[in-house]
Amino acid sequence: MKIGIILGTRPEIIKMAGIITLCENEGLDYFVLHTGQHYSYNMDRAIYQDLKLPDPRYNLKIGSSTHAQNTAAILEKAESVLQKEMPDIVLVEGDTNTVLAGALAASKLKIKVGHVEAGLRSDDPNMPEEMNRILTDHISHLLFCPTALARERLIKEKVDPGRIYLTGNTIVDAVNRNIGFALKKSRILQRLKLGKKKYFLITAHRQENVDNKKTLSSILASLETLYNRYNWPVIYPVHPRTDKMIRKFKIRIPSAIKVIDPVNYFDFLNLEASAGAILTDSGGIQEEACILKVPCITLRENTERPETLKEGSNILAGTDPERILRSVEVMLGRKANWDNPFGDGKTGENILKIIQDQFISS
Ligand code: UD1
Ligand code: UDP
pLDDT tens digits for 253-290? 989 899 999 999 999 999 999 999 999 999 999 999 99
Q: Clarify whether 138 is annotated catalytic.
A: no
Give the mutation target among 38, 104, 124, 248 for probing the ligand 1 site: most ligand atoms within 8 A of CB.
38
Q: Is the CB of 288 under 6 A from ligand 2?
A: yes
Catalytic residue selected from 34, 38, 115, 205: 205
362 has a pLDDT exceeding 80: no
Atom 30 of ligand 1, residue of closest alpha carbon: 64
Residue range 97-119: mean pLDDT, rounded: 98
Distance between CA atoms of residues 116 and 113, nearest Å? 10
- In this prediction, residue 360 carries a pLDDT of 74
Domain boundaries, the chain: 2-169+343-361, 180-332
Atom 22 of ligand 1, residue of closest alpha carbon: 240
Percent of the chain with pLDDT over 90: 98
39-75 tens-digit pLDDT: 999 999 999 999 999 999 999 999 999 999 999 999 9
Q: Name the CATH superfamily housing domain 180-332.
A: Glycogen Phosphorylase B; (3.40.50.2000)
Q: Is the CB of 58 under 6 A from ligand 2?
A: no
CA distances from 291 to 172, 173, 361 (A): 7, 11, 35
Atom 9 of ligand 2, residue of closest alpha carbon: 265
Ligand 1 pocket, CB under 6 A: 9-11, 37-40, 43, 64, 95-97, 128-129, 205, 240-241, 244
Q: In CATH terms, are 2-169+343-361 and 180-332 the same topology?
A: yes
232-263 b/e (C-beta count within 10 Å ≥ 16 → b): bbbbbbbbbbbbebbeeeeeeeeebbbbeebb
282-294 tens-digit pLDDT: 999 999 999 999 9
- In this prediction, residue 359 carries a pLDDT of 84
- Structure letter (DSSP) for residue 42: G
Q: What is 2-169+343-361's CATH number?
A: 3.40.50.2000
Average model confidence (pLDDT) across the chain? 97
361 has a pLDDT exceeding 80: no
249 has a pLDDT exceeding 90: yes
Atom 3 of ligand 2, residue of closest alpha carbon: 263
Residue range 86-90: mean pLDDT, rounded: 98
Give the mutation target among 43, 126, 241, 263 for probing the ligand 1 site: most ligand atoms within 8 A of CB.
241
Q: Is the CB of 263 under 6 A from ligand 2?
A: yes
Q: Give the other-Cβ count within 10 Å of 304's Cβ.
A: 22
